[in-house]
């Protein structure tokens, strides 16, 4: 395959065994040391141990996702400096023995957010779903965030109230868990934790978050470059403000701003098509073309929007024009190769798959959206699409 096909693997605890992954058609692995707490050093030994494990299965460790950014860095707390130093040291260690593409995000408090992790689709599969009314009910009546009413229309407030009153205790518990307690390496998050974290962002503006991102990047990008690595930022998911917090990587303008902040090839983008697609005014293919030469990694997936809600569509369905996107990615690789860039191959992974077939009979996957079969179907579709594009448009490049 022309683009580098990878599969995310959550480490030895992942119910998808590492040695099954070559059967999906992937050659690369995307993983993190999820057992290392946020803000702690990734040692050379730990990185090497993981790398050997991956290579023993006949695979390559292509991408780190993620090297997490401690909240103190995002809030610019006094300890930020020290956490940035640790981050730089982890990068140096990665540069010695690990993969060169390093993913991170700069979303305050919560990473990606959905309200239902098992939304039933007409074909019987289940998918990840974000429902605005349910999220409002969570903020208003479960988290009880001060001032949350101001973020919603009267109609949504009314619907959220009705919805919440109809919930059983169990359903309310499930909603809470779906929203706040789903992140690998960050399990067991409580409402109190979220309230504490939110308190630290009280009165926080977008400008302040940008300033903290700048302070972070101006230190870590040179360290990454010297280590032979590239930092790639994951978009906000969903691509807009939630919980009254600023989000800064959601639109085409945000992409330009980020790249200009530290104008260095080691300051790159993890182009998550699915995250960007959950916003009506985002033209995903145009966004890709606007930053193609700085894309170090791609998440290929798509969403469908319905009113204020959205759900994860199939990899070739939904709002993303996957044909045009994959074609643009192939063309970017051709350009890189012609320019003699050694990093010309772009790792791609089928992001979030639906739960399908036998996976529906198993206990729910501890990593929602990361069952084996749905993603395997996605990767197979994407590889087929890519082969079709390459054979019909650029056959000579395949030699
Ligand atoms: C969701 C993922 C994100 C992503 C992080 C990167 O499935 O795409 O959790 O890994 O935001 O830091």
Positive or negative, the CA dihedral 125, 130, 132, 133 is positive
Beta-strand ranges (E) seen in 82-217 are 101-105, 116-120, 126-130
Positive or negative, the CA dihedral 33, 74, 365, 274 is negative
Using alpha carbons, list the distances in angstroms from residue 118 to 99, 202, 355, 363, 365.
33, 33, 8, 12, 10
Q: What per-residue confidence (pLDDT) applies to 181? A: 83
Residue 165 has pLDDT above 70, yes or no: yes
Per the DSSP assignment, residues forming a β-bridge with 221 are none
Instruction: State the greatest distance between any 2 C-alpha atoms of the chain, in Å, as a whole number.
Output: 62
* Cβ neighbours for 192, distance < 8 A, ≥ 6 positions apart: none
Using alpha carbons, list the distances in angstroms from residue 63 to 18, 48, 153, 290, 348.
15, 14, 41, 23, 10
Q: What per-residue confidence (pLDDT) applies to 228? A: 97
388 vs 182, higher pLDDT: 388
Q: What per-residue confidence (pLDDT) applies to 187? A: 74
Q: What does residue 191 show for φ and ψ, rounded to 5 degrees?
A: -60, -40
**Is 75 close to ligand 1, i.e. is its CB under 6 Å away?**
no
Q: How far is the CA of 81 from the centre of ligand 1 (A)?
A: 24
Average pLDDT rounded to a whole number, residues 186-199: 90
Instruction: Summarize pLDDT for 75-116 with one digit per residue, the tens.
Output: 999 999 999 999 999 999 999 998 999 999 999 999 999 999
**Is 297 close to ligand 1, i.e. is its CB under 6 Å away?**
no
Instruction: Summarize pLDDT for 309-335 with one digit per residue, the tens.
Output: 999 999 999 999 999 999 999 999 999
Q: How far is the CA of 234 from the centre of ligand 1 (A)?
A: 7
Q: What per-residue confidence (pLDDT) applies to 184? A: 67
Tell me the C-alpha distance between 229 and 74, whole Å: 22
Q: What per-residue confidence (pLDDT) applies to 1? A: 62
* Cβ neighbours for 188, distance < 8 A, ≥ 6 positions apart: 181
Q: Which is the catalytic residue, given 299, 311, 330, 355?
A: 299
**Is 65 close to ligand 1, i.e. is its CB under 6 Å away?**
yes
């Amino acid at each position: 395959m022309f683009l580098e096909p990878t599969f995310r693997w959550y480490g030895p605890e992942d119910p998808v065994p590492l040695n099954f992954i070559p059967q999906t058609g992937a050659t690369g692995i995307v993983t993190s040391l999820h057992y290392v707490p946020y803000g702690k050093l990734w040692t050379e030994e730990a990185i090497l141990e993981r790398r050997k494990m991956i290579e023993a299965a006949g695979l390559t460790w292509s991408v780190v996702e993620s090297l997490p950014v401690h909240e103190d860095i995002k809030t610019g707390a006094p300890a930020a400096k020290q956490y940035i130093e640790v981050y730089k040291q982890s990068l140096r260690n990665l540069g010695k023995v690990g993969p060169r593409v390093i993913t991170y995000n700069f979303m305050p408090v919560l990473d990606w957010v959905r309200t239902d992790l098992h939304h039933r689709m007409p074909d019987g599969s289940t998918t990840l779903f974000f429902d605005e009314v349910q999220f409002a009910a969570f903020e208003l009546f479960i988290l009880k965030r001060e001032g949350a009413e101001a973020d919603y229309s009267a109609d949504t407030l009314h619907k959220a109230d009705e919805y919440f009153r109809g919930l059983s205790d169990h359903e309310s518990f499930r909603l809470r868990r779906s929203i706040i307690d789903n992140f690998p390496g960050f399990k067991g998050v409580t409402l109190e934790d979220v309230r504490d974290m939110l308190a630290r962002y009280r009165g926080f503006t977008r400008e302040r978050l940008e300033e903290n991102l700048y302070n972070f990047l101006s230190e870590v990008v040179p360290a990454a470059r010297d280590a032979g690595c590239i930092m790639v930022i994951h978009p906000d998911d969903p691509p807009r403000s939630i919980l009254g917090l600023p989000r800064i990587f959601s639109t085409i303008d945000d992409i330009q701003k980020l790249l200009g902040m530290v104008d260095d090839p080691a300051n790159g983008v993890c182009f998550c098509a699915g995250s960007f697609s959950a916003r009506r005014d985002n033209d995903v293919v145009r966004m890709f073309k606007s930053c193609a030469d700085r894309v170090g990694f791609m998440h290929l997936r798509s969403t469908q929007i319905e009113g204020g809600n959205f759900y994860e569509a199939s990899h070739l369905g939904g709002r993303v024009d996957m044909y045009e996107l994959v074609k643009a990615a192939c063309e970017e690789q051709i350009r890189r190769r012609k320019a003699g860039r050694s990093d010309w191959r772009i790792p791609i992974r089928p992001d979030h798959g639906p739960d399908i077939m036998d996976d529906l009979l198993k206990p729910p996957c501890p990593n929602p959206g990361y069952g084996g079969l749905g993603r395997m179907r996605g990767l197979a579709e994407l590889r087929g699409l890519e082969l079709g594009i390459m054979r019909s448009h650029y056959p000579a490049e395949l030699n």
